[in-house]
Every structure is written in structure tokens, then in C-alpha cells.
Structure 1
Amino acid sequence: MPWIRRLIYIPLTILLMSSVPVQAQDMPASLQAGLGLLGGFPSGGFGNNITNPGIGISGHIGYRFPQSPVILGLDMSYMIYGHESRNERFSTTIPDVSVRVVTDNNIFMTNLFLRLQPREGPFRPYIDGRFGFHYLFTKTSIRDIPDPFSDDIASSINFSDVAFTYGGSVGFMIEVYDGRSERTQFNRSVRTVSIDFRLRYLDGAEASYLNRGDVLRQSGQTALNISRSDTNIITVFVGASVEL
């Protein structure tokens, strides 16, 4: 998607460069960490096969260099893009016990990122470049019917694959708490708390994966309907970020 790449790499770069303070200030190194909800929208060949959006969680931690708008960090996300469940008898020899069989199609995304973001101000836009990998896997598990969120009784990975990725993000943070004036040598409390909004595009290499309903059961045997394509994905993130 060329428009996504232009959106990420051109206009916000100009904005960030114009917002970097030029005057000398005491700007020590700090840590930035965040956590929030993630919505995913497969794109390209991946989107042709996976037509429904995914949902999950995402978190990051980054090191902000002193006297600099640069942050180097690690971002990790987990998303489910397919889900199905059914009730079955526990076994042919125990027909009086029923369990729930759940199959989830998942993506675990890990990326190193390099971010440019102003250090000061209630509104801080940012842009970053990133590279990493997608781990795509489909898992089937057995759970108790009365408590669907209990630990799995048994589980199995039906299929998995890995794809390398690269891309970038644009976003902005709105500061809701500033505790820098309260920090002392003996009080190392949170510097700032911000609401974080982010749009991310990842260009993923080809990989094989399963969609919802692709684990087939035939005459007591399992068959897999495997798809293969690029693994491009657009994600939208809404969460909270803190500077430490």
C-alpha cells in the first residue's frame, strides 16, 4: 500500500524535525513503556485470505537517549484473527463428561524499533521504523465448559510458521500527567503518563498459515487447509505510555 508508506515516512518526519528543540537543555536518558489494545487488518494477499479483523494486546519498552529525540526499543504484540469453539464428549469411553474444544488462529509480532519523538509538550507526535518477525500459529485446546477461561486441559499447535517483517508507525501521545517537578534524587517516580494512539504498517514476507475453519475433521482424522501469501498487516493501537 503506497499510501501507507507515504503516510508513515514523509509528512510526520517534517513535523518531528521542526519540533526538536534546538536550545541546550538538561535532558537525561529515560525509559518509555506502554501497553494497550490492538486492532489488526490484514492487507494484500494476507487480506484476501483473512477477511476479518483481529484483536489483541501490545506492549513496548524503549530507551530514550540523553539530549536526543531518539528512542530505541522492543515492541511485542499478540493478536487473534480467527476463533471457533464447539462442545464434545471427553472421549468415547467417558461420554458423560463434556468439554469445550477451542481453536484460535494467532499472530505473535515482535519488532525492534527506532523512534523519533519530541521530549517535551502535552502533544508529542512520533514516527518510527521497525523490523522483526511474525509468528503465525493455530492452536486447539480443551477447556472445562462451566469455566471457558480456565487453564487448558490439553492443547496442541496444529500449524505454525515464521515471517520476517519491516515497516513503520506514526502516532501521537497526549500527556495526562506530569510528575517531573516531583522527581528528586530520592524520588524516582513516573515522569509523565500519556494516552498513546498509533497506526502501524508491517510488510511481512511470505508464510503459510491457517484461517478460521481450516482445521478439518474427517473420519476421525485431521486435515489442514493451508494458505500461503505475504503477511502484510495494518494495526491500530490505543493505550497508555509512561516515561520513567
Structure 2
Amino acid sequence: MFSVLSPARFKVLLAGLVVALVLGGVALFGAQRTVSAAVPDEASADAGFSRDMQVHHTQAVEMSMIAWDRSDDLDVKTIAYDMATAQQAQIGHMSTWLENWDLGQSSSLEPMAWMNGDMETDEDPSMTPDSGHGDGVDGHEGMSDTTDSATGAATGAAAGAGMPGLASEEDLARLRTLTGVEGDRLFLTLMIAHHRGGVMMAQAALGEASNDTVKDFAQKQVIAQQADIEAMEEMLTARQ
């Protein structure tokens, strides 16, 4: 006998399917050497995006594995596992691009130096994280908080300074301590903000990068992460 999927479960599985399709496309491109006449250089948006998005993805994998380990909610565990596996694989693809371009995995350039202008997204109000869920997640205005407003102490990972959507070290520490619906809500809140930041970076890469592989990946990331955001917003609403 077939069980009937709940709307929430269907949304989670659909988001996972979108990510899987995107990942398949990225793997196809990532397995090939760049054939563009101009190979990205050290200061290019292509290289900067590839490095910074690996850092951004690394935190998403960390948060997802925390949620997968601590949650008892099947939908939360499913979407966390899907995001962790997909983004870990994408880290490998971006690392391979840099190797193919004969560039290092790290750079002396400041994080996000590849972006021209600011990261305002007036056209799409969904890029502004919703702070009205009552989970005590303050200061997430789509940008990583690297200093505490009261003490001036560093709170974010130095490698991710200035990246949009990163959770603070305090948020990560709190996520590791919570279980049940409270932990699920915090994970979803942090990951929605994190994904919105990832979408902002991908949209910037679409305008700044020159390599077709990078631009194709960025476009697919926008589609996949927006699908995840929609699923997580519905999940968060259902868990209030």
C-alpha cells in the first residue's frame, strides 16, 4: 500500500529533486577542463566566487549535519541531509575549477573582493531575511556579523568576513545545544538566511563572472536554493 505524502513532505522531496538535478548539471561541467579562451586569473570574479562559495557552503554543511544529528523531525532531517550532501559535492567541483585554472584554493585578497558595488537586492524582497520568527536570531540582515555590536569582539569565522548570510559563532554554538522543535526552528531560520546570502552571491557571479561553467553553476544555484528557501519557509511556519 502506498502512503500519501503530506504537502510539507512533498515540498521537501521536490526541493531535494531540484538540488539533485542541479548537482547533476554541475558535475557534468565540473568533470571537464575549462575550454574558454580566457582562463580566470587570481583577481577574477570567477576565482573569488569559487573560493568564497566554498567557505559559504562549508558552513551550510556544518549546520545541516548538526540538524541531521540532533533533530527527530523527518522533514528537517531529510532537507538537512540533502543540503549537506549536495553542497559538499559542489565544494569539490569548485575546488577542481581552481585546480584546472592553476590557481590556489586560498588567496591574499579579502573575502568578497571580487564583487563590484554593494549587495543590495531592491528588486527581490525575499532576499531580506525574516527576523520575525522569535528564535532569538538577531543581527542577520543578509550579511555575516563578524563583530558584536556591544563588545566589538569577533563573532564570525575570519575566512567568511563580509559574506552574506553566514551564521555567527554564537548562533552555531546555540544550534549545537538545542533539540526538538526549538532546534528545528533555529536551524531553519539560520539556513533560510544562509541560502538567501548564497543566492545574493550567485546573482553577483552571474553579473561579474566570465567563465561559462561558473555562470551556469551560479544560475543553477539560484534556482536550487530558492526552491530550498520556499520549502524551509513553509516548514518554519508549520513549526511555530
TM-score range normalised by the length of the shorter chain: under 0.3
Structure with more strand by fraction:
1
Structure with more helix by fraction:
2
When Rg is computed on C-alpha atoms for both structures, the one with the higher figure is 1
Please report the TM-score for the alignment, with normalisation by the length of structure 2.
0.25
Higher relative contact order (CA 8 A, sep 6+): 2
